[in-house]
Amino acid sequence: AAPGYSSGEAMAALQAVAAKTLPEGYTHEWSGMSYQELKSSGQVVILFALALLFAYLFLVGQYESWNIPLSIIISVPVATLGALVGLWVAGFSLSIYAQIGLVLLVGLASKNAILIVEFAQSRREDGLSIAEAAVDGGRIRFRPVLMTSFTFIFGLVPMVLATGAGAGSRKAIGTTVFSGMLSTTLFGIFLIPVLYYIFQSTREKGSAWRTRRQEKKNHE
């Protein structure tokens, strides 16, 4: 592809030209890397869904709860929305490289949320109220989250500003991950403690309700 364009955009342009110029009865087919990209393009959505599912299930196993991991996984849609906005602003299409970037965001976006939720959960186990634990998680982990996230984000700048041959693919991945991580860092640092409070409260209320129900059955 020409500098500044992804291979997906180049393939789409070639298909449009071929449809207009090839005589009737003639066709074209892709080979090599272009064929592999075209063949795998529809699988990225499935891979994204599977990555999201497995990340959630691993977190369920870690926290032994179906509720708490939701406060972590919800950071992924925030990152995805930020990535799509970044692609739109930069003028990129949702190419195969951008889709790969979205899959990467599943793990990268969850990382920040895990730092906050893990600390909040430990504070809750120390005896703090849910609200105090959530506030402590956001306040004390504020600086570490920003430092690690922006170190990673600034490391993506060379990819976002890439030039030369193959720059389109590097810029597509870089822009996707850069925008996604920026959005989940700026908004997630405030959103995750709120989500932790909501889901932890729901979890404990549900647990208390089940305990009362079991005690009532035992008395009967």
Query: For 192-210, what is each residue's pLDDT tens digit?
Result: 899 889 988 888 887 777 7
Residue ranges of the domains in the chain? Answer: 42-219
Rg over CA atoms, the chain: 23
Minimum mean pLDDT among 14-18, 28-32, 158-162: which range?
28-32
pTM: 0.75
CB 179 within 8 A of CB 82: yes
pLDDT at 2 over 60: no
| CATH class of domain segment(s) 42-219 | mainly alpha
The rounded distance, in Å, linking the Cα atoms of 78 and 80 is 5
